[in-house]
Amino acid sequence: MSVEEQSDSRPEPPGMVLVLDDDDLMRGAMRRILEARGHTVATAETAADAIEFCEASNAAGVAGWISLVIADVGAAGAEFGTRVASARPGLTVVYVSRISRPVAENRGLISAGDMFVAKPFSAAALDAAVRAALNR
């Protein structure tokens, strides 16, 4: 099988990835990385905007279309995962942060079982985390 055939047979990424980050440059970079890999991406600057987006899509009957949330730990805050689970049960959140995982856990910003990618990250690392989360 040729490389072109392999890339053409690659399955379409399901649904939408919602990116939450209060840094315009990081939010834009994550959007470009994910779109280059075939994902549909929506963005939010605040946790409130992200939760509102989840609730609005749920009310509109397209809740299944949002497949994943990528959230900066600082922008998300400690209660974000609980609020997302309330708005969209079963929706996976991948956290990203410039602070280390142990520090984020000690501050109660993430839990031991949460998916986490340390900033700065490569496009490949972000893509790997997204694929792992979608395959959960």
The domain 14-134 having CATH identifier 3.40.50.2300: the answer here is yes
pLDDT, average across residues 95-110: 94
Q: What are phi and psi of 18, to 5 degrees?
A: -100, 120
pLDDT, average across residues 3-22: 61
> Quick one: tokens of 74?
């600082």
Q: If pLDDT is split at 50, 70 and 90, which confidence band does 6 have?
A: very low
pLDDT, average across residues 20-30: 97
Q: Which residue has the tokens 């000690």?
A: 106
- Is the peptide bond preceding residue 102 cis, with omega within 30 degrees of 0? no
Q: In a 10 Å sphere around its CB, with 0-12 CB exposed, 13-18 middle and 19+ buried, how is residue 102 labelled?
A: exposed
Q: Helices 47-59 & 80-87, crossing angle to 10 degrees? A: 10
